[in-house]
Amino acid sequence: MEGKTKVIVVDDQNIARGFFEMHIKTSIRYELVRSLPSADMAVSYIDQNPVDLVIMDVMMRYGMDGLSAAEKIKKNHPGTKIILVTSMAEASWEKRAKEAGIDSFWYKEYSEEPLIEIMDRTMQGESIYPGRAPSLRFGKVSRDELTERELDVLRELTSGATNEEIAHKLFISVNTVKRHIQNLMDKSGFKNRLSLAINATSLGLVVSEDGIQAKDSDFDV
């Protein structure tokens, strides 16, 4: 196994971990040293063991989310390469990952490049980012037809926030929040804020800060 790139995979879903494990085990260039179900375990493992490459999902059901863990690993072990992966279409995660110096970002469901190619290029020193989130259909429109501010409001809606809470979070007026929600309904065809939030959540179109860790949410209608 000498000379192989030491890899750990981190995902709270057994099927997803199995997918990553298969790619690594069938490659002559990589060695799977750990397959872990939580980001906290990854941080602890890397603090005690040499790792060349981390492949980690963003969303976690328990403990630290993948983005926060990746930021911590990069700070403490800057030489460790990290590929963040997600099945969601949340664009803000790409921006945050770039700012934290995370090496690469890969959309599980939407990327045209195979994972093994992303791994090879990342280990060769490239930083691979799609540059734009997947353009999903949201009712009658595509993601590209929504403004960044509309997406910001929609993101907060998925957390169950009230108009007042959204206004405070985004530094805008309550009337501006109401206008954006109405625009979202007019564009998408969804009839109320609950429908907007449920459909955005089911698509993974946007994910609130709290939503990086999956949990049930209540929505004000």
Decide if pLDDT at 217 tops 60: no
- Tell me if 31 sits within 8 A of 5, measured CB to CB: yes
Phi-psi region at 204: left, alpha or beta (left = phi > 0; alpha = psi -120 to 50): left
Question: What's the pTM value of the predicted model, to 2 decimals?
Answer: 0.82
Burial class (CB in 10 A: 0-12, 13-18, 19+), 78: exposed
Sheet with 104-107: strands ordered across: 30-36, 5-10, 53-57, 81-86, 104-107
Domains with residue ranges and CATH for the chain:
5-123 (3.40.50.2300), 137-212 (1.10.10.10)
- Count of CB atoms situated within 10 Å of the CB of 56: 25
Q: Which of 44-48, 57-61, 141-145, 217-221 has the highest mean pLDDT?
A: 44-48
pLDDT tens profile 32-87: 999 999 999 999 999 999 999 999 999 998 899 999 999 999 999 999 999 999 98
- What value does the mean pLDDT of the chain take? 90
